[in-house]
């Protein structure tokens, strides 16, 4: 009951803030003699969010989209002032491109693209028959939108503000503690592979969630903007450390399965000081520094127990190198986390510039752009052919929702829910407009005549998990059909025509998604994304090294997250995806480290040449998986290992790290529990003597 009451309290606070912003916007619009207060109110309805950082982020991108759309509308009308057909055709193309841009980008940046298309339509369509109105129309629309943005931001910032910053700190702390606990508890080496896969999935979701929240919190907090680069670097160091420990645990598991228990136990003993350091989070950086200092000595002692078995000794050296890398990355991650928790005055020093690489599919964007273009062109042709007075309203609704719903995996269901909500909102607006408002006078009566019915929309929005889209559709339908003007006009016939046109536009949008289904979350897109994910290994093998580590770590996780969120948990497809994700992360990171070794060490010619061939063979294997490609990659890696072992006595300093990473790649290649297992079995059957 306490949780229910707390949830209801938060819901009604949001409803109050939303209504306050709506009515304050309406009052200011009328005071400033703006032509269509409804446009400003619609802006408020769209950008309002329980957290003020989200409101500011949405407002920022809406402002950019509004400005871009208005400028394009002015340019387009200047080019085609008397050619309505060409004007509508070019507008449809622009809206389609904006819809494709929305699919290519994430979060509220996508929303900016949607608004760029919507604003161009809002400015152009009413002025098609009178081009001289285009500049006034653009200025009025921009003024109304900006007023709504400013009021929504002020109300969200002043009235019971709820910060994203607090949620970000809480979420970051939860993920930090979860990772430290995972690193501490995984030292036994007995963690099942399924548990490792779930840990990898948690890491992926955490990394993407933290980046999304960071992108919003910078709008509400000056200190967050100052620390933005450090927060992003913290996230990327977290990803790097997570990849290293998962690779180490995989190595220990493989050694145990291949009857190399002594080497596995030696590595776990080497890992023990790290576990002891993680026993408490107090002064963790200092303890990890001490742990790093003692690892070489302990590694030498444990290595002495394996001297009679050269192969096991090499495996131990590979694991020790991996462990030392993890310990260093963990220490850097913990130290940066500690610095971010310091007071602003104690934050010292600059940090490297890093980016969180987003992965997108241009095919999905092209399909969305084509669908939206055909929808808008069809509606535009129908409007021009019939001279339907409310045709522009239908086009506006289609413009807005074609872009907004293009990023969803179930746009037809979302359109249906929005259509229902819009219809209910239109009915409520009719009751207010023609039953409650005509008998009153003044702004107070306007509030009293609309408040009981308008508050339903924001409240339904807080129940979006159970009624997705209905609340937003209701609020939009009520505000749009109420159509507050200066002065107010009561015309039932016009009201009904506009309502039918709006519902028709939504219906056409839903039909377009049925004819050209959305590819977000589809099997076709997942196959393309899986191919793109595998090609991340090729990127790790060929892309320029500066900045590649963080681009690889973040790009992989962002792409993996896109695929996994549309895959049923526990299904065969989900298990296959998890297996591929782990293999790609481990192999790609090992290739990247190997390339670093090749670049920074003076190696014998044969070692360098054979290592480069191994890198190329592995890139080809993941680009086009198959038994033949696996066989070539395995032979290439084996030859590189032989060359590195031969050169080891005379060039230990340079060849030792190369050999460690080659061994790690061979272990990953021959892992019979990985995504490569089917190709291993096929290759073994084709070469029985091996």
Cα-based distances in Å from 207 to 171, 179, 339: 11, 12, 19
Would the pLDDT of 142 be above 90? no
Asked if residue 297 is part of any domain, the answer here is: yes
The number of folded domains in the chain is: 3
Q: Are residues 152 and 36 part of one domain?
A: yes
What's 633's domain CATH number? 1.20.120
Q: Are residues 141 and 283 part of one domain?
A: no
Q: Are residues 244 and 363 part of one domain?
A: no
CB atoms within 10 A of CB 427: 16
Q: Are residues 237 and 276 part of one domain?
A: yes
pLDDT of residue 199: 80
Asked if residue 547 is part of any domain, the answer here is: no
Model's pTM, two decimal places?
Answer: 0.80
Where does the pLDDT of residue 345 fall: very low under 50, low under 70, confident under 90, or very high at 90 and above?
Answer: very low
Torsion sign across C-alpha atoms 143, 149, 152, 153? negative
C-alpha 499/C-alpha 430 separation (Å) is 10
The mean pLDDT of the chain is 83
Q: Are 170 and 62 in contact (CB under 8 A)?
A: no
Domain closes at, from 492, 515, 538: 515
Q: Are residues 51 and 150 part of one domain?
A: yes
Instruction: Report the share of the chain in percent with pLDDT over 90.
Output: 14
Asked if residue 529 is part of any domain, the answer here is: no
Would the pLDDT of 352 be above 60? no
pLDDT of residue 349: 46
Domain closes at, from 308, 325, 346: 346
Q: Are residues 633 and 584 part of one domain?
A: yes
Dump pLDDT digits (tens) for 281-318: 778 888 888 888 888 888 888 888 876 667 777 888 88
Q: Are residues 178 and 34 part of one domain?
A: no
User: Which residue carries 């340019």 as its tokens?
Assistant: 75
Asked if residue 617 is part of any domain, the answer here is: yes
C-alpha 200/C-alpha 185 separation (Å) is 15
Domain closes at, from 483, 515, 547: 515
Would the pLDDT of 189 be above 90? no
Dump pLDDT digits (tens) for 667-677: 888 888 888 88
Q: Are 528 and 488 in contact (CB under 8 A)?
A: no
Asked if residue 522 is part of any domain, the answer here is: no
- Which helix (H) or strand (E) covers residue 499, if one does? helix 492-515
Q: Are residues 246 and 157 part of one domain?
A: no
Domain coverage including residue 150 = 11-162+359-515
Q: Are residues 508 and 389 part of one domain?
A: yes
Q: Are residues 122 and 198 part of one domain?
A: no
pLDDT of residue 615: 93
Cα angle 70-500-19, degrees, rounded to a multiple of 5: 65
Asked if residue 447 is part of any domain, the answer here is: yes
Q: Are residues 175 and 135 part of one domain?
A: no
Cβ-in-10-Å burial (0-12, 13-18, 19+) of 395 comes to buried
pLDDT of residue 508: 92
Dump pLDDT digits (tens) for 10-22: 888 888 889 999 9
Q: Are residues 326 and 367 part of one domain?
A: no
Asked if residue 307 is part of any domain, the answer here is: yes
Cα-Cα-Cα-Cα dihedral of 128, 129, 132, 133, to 10°? Answer: -70
Mean pLDDT calculated for residue range 168-195: 78
Asked if residue 555 is part of any domain, the answer here is: no
């Amino acid at each position: 009951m306490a949780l229910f009451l707390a949830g209801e309290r938060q819901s009604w606070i949001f409803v109050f803030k939303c209504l306050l912003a709506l009515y304050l916007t309406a009052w200011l619009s009328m005071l400033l003699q703006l032509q269509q207060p409804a446009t400003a109110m619609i802006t408020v309805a769209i950008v309002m969010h329980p957290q003020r950082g989200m409101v500011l982020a949405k407002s920022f991108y809406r402002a950019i989209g509004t400005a871009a759309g208005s400028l394009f509308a002015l340019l387009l009308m200047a080019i085609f002032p008397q050619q309505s057909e060409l004007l509508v055709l070019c507008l449809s193309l622009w809206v389609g491109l904006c819809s494709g841009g929305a699919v290519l980008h994430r979060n509220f940046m996508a929303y900016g693209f949607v608004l760029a298309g919507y604003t161009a339509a809002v400015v152009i369509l009413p002025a098609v028959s009178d081009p001289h109105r285009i500049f006034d129309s653009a200025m009025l629309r921009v003024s109304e939108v900006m007023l709504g943005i400013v009021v929504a931001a002020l109300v969200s910032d002043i009235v019971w503000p709820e910060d994203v910053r607090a949620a970000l700190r809480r979420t970051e702390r939860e993920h930090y503690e979860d990772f430290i606990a995972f690193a501490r508890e995984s030292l036994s080496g007995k963690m099942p592979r399924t548990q490792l896969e779930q840990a990898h999935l948690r890491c992926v979701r955490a990394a993407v969630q933290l980046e999304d929240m960071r992108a919003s919190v910078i709008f509400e907090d000056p200190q967050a903007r100052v620390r933005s680069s450090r927060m992003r670097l913290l996230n990327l160091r977290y990803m790097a450390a997570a990849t290293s420990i998962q690779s180490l645990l995989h190595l220990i598991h493989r050694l145990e399965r291949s009857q190399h228990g002594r080497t596995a136990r030696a590595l776990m003993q080497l890992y023990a000081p790290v576990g002891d350091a993680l026993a408490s989070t107090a002064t963790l950086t200092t303890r990890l520094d001490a742990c790093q200092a003692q690892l070489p000595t302990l590694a030498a002692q444990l290595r002495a127990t394996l001297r009679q078995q050269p192969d096991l000794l090499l495996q131990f050296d590979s694991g020790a190198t991996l462990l030392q890398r993890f310990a260093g990355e963990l220490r850097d991650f913990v130290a940066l986390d500690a610095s971010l928790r310091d007071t602003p005055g104690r934050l010292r020093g600059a940090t490297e510039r890093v980016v969180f690489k987003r992965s997108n599919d241009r095919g999905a964007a092209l399909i969305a752009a084509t669908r939206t273009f055909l929808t808008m062109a069809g509606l535009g042709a129908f409007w021009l052919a019939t001279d339907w007075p409310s045709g522009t309203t239908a086009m506006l609704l289609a413009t807005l929702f074609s872009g907004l719903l293009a990023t969803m995996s179930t746009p037809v269901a979302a359109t249906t829910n929005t259509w229902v909500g819009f219809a209910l909102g239109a009915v409520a607006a009719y009751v207010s407009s023609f039953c409650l408002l005509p008998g009153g006078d003044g702004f107070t009566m306007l509030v009293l005549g609309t408040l009981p019915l308008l508050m339903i929309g924001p409240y339904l929005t807080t129940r979006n998990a159970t009624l997705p889209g209905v609340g937003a559709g209701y609020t939009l339908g009520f505000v749009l059909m109420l159509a507050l003007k200066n002065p107010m006009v009561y015309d039932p016939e016009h009201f009904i025509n506009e309502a039918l046109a709006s519902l028709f536009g939504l219906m056409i949008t839903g039909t377009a998604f049925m004819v050209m289904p959305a590819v977000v979350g589809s099997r076709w897109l997942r196959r393309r994304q899986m191919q793109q994910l595998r090609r991340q290994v090729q990127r790790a093998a060929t892309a320029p090294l500066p900045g590649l580590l963080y681009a690889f770590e973040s790009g992989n996780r962002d792409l993996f997250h896109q695929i996994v969120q549309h895959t049923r948990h526990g299904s065969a497809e989900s298990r296959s995806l998890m297996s591929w994700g782990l293999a790609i992360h481990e192999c790609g990171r090992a290739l990247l480290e190997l390339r670093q070794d090749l670049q920074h060490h003076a190696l014998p010619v044969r070692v360098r040449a054979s290592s480069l061939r191994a890198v190329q063979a592995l890139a080809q294997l993941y680009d086009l998986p198959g038994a033949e490609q696996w066989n070539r990659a395995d032979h290439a890696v084996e030859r590189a290992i032989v060359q590195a072992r031969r050169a080891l006595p005379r060039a230990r300093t340079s060849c030792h790290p190369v050999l460690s990473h080659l061994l790690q790649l061979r272990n990953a290649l021959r892992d019979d529990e990985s995504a490569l297992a089917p190709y291993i079995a096929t290759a073994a059957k084709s070469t029985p003597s091996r």
